């Protein structure tokens, strides 16, 4: 690979990184402003704006500057994503295309610096700060992808309200085997405050019941059920935000019988859960 080809490869990698970033931002805006379902809901995470977007644009800039560290780091992240994350067919094709261009960009970056070292007596090696910045980013990205894989495999529960099409079959099987729901029940919405248990600290809305599970002081699992037809009002006590849970009281005709729900606001899951209760 000569110098012109090396520079061209780096430019193509930068263009690919820029396109990926723009696509993620567009999908985030669509998912955030619509009632996103299925694969699209994965793009409604605020991390797209606060982490993916700036890292993507910085990566594109430094690849344009023939950075070896950046090219290798983004190639690694793209490869791990394709290998570990459950992707749709379109995402897989795009991911493989990105791996190709990032691989070529990495090859071009190394070739460029090799030739530059031979031709330029004032050649300067990569600053240490580049390694200090990008190595932690690679580690964080790997951890994030690991969490996604755990969630998609049913090993770990996402810290948000889940709609029917997001609930892993493994979690439904656990609820059925423990007698919390029947085989003919349909779980419309689900949330658990325990990332490794579908039973402890969970709220389950079926077609006709609201189920609340939690451990008492003796660490015994208690389950409370309320028929949706008995609900008279769902009152918001605290609206919640990105950090704090929203709190709602589910009232019935009997003032002594009520449920208190604490729900995360991520992807407007709390509103979807509450709206579904009110419509029942």
Measuring CA to CA, which residue among 159, 250, 243 is closest to residue 202?
A: 159
CB 114 within 8 A of CB 6: no
CA distance 48 to 32: 11
Indicate the burial class of 214 (C-beta count within 10 angstroms; 0-12, 13-18, 19 or more).
Answer: middle
Question: Which pLDDT value is given to residue 172?
Answer: 92
pTM exceeding 0.75: no
Tell me the mean pLDDT in the region 53-69. Answer: 86
Question: Which pLDDT value is given to residue 76?
Answer: 85
Each residue's pLDDT tens digit, 90-112:
888 999 999 999 999 999 999 98
CATH code of the region 162-279 = 2.30.29.30
Domain boundaries, given as residue ranges, for the chain: 3-152, 162-279
List Cα–Cα distances, 170 to 133, 173, 193, 216, in angstroms.
39, 5, 17, 25
């Amino acid at each position: 690979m000569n110098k012109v080809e090396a520079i061209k490869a780096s430019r193509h990698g930068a263009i690919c990184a820029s396109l990926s970033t723009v696509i993620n931002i567009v999908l985030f805006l669509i998912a955030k402003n619509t009632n996103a379902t299925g694969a699209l809901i994965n793009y409604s995470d605020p991390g797209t704006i606060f982490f993916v977007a700036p890292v993507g644009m910085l990566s594109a800039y430094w690849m344009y500057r023939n950075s070896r560290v950046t090219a290798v780091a983004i190639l690694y992240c793209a490869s791990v994503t394709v290998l570990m994350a459950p992707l749709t067919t379109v995402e897989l094709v795009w991911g493989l295309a990105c791996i190709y261009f990032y691989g070529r960009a990495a090859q071009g970056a190394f070739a460029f610096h090799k030739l530059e070292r031979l031709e330029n007596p004032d050649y300067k090696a990569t600053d240490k700060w580049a390694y200090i910045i990008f190595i932690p980013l690679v580690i964080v990205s790997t951890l994030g992808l690991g969490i996604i894989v755990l969630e998609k495999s049913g090993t770990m529960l996402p810290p948000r309200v889940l709609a029917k099409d997001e609930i892993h079959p493994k979690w439904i099987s656990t609820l059925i085997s423990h007698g919390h729901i029947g085989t003919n029940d349909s779980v419309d919405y689900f949330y658990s405050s325990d990332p490794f248990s579908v039973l402890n600290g969970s709220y389950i809305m079926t077609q006709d019941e609201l189920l609340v599970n939690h451990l008492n002081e003796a660490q015994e699992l208690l389950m409370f059920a309320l028929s949706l037809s008995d609900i008279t009002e769902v009152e918001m006590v605290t609206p919640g935000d990105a950090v704090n849970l929203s709190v709602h009281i589910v009232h019935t005709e009997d003032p002594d019988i009520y449920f208190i729900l604490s729900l995360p606001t991520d992807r407007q899951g709390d509103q979807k859960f509450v709206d579904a209760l009110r419509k029942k």
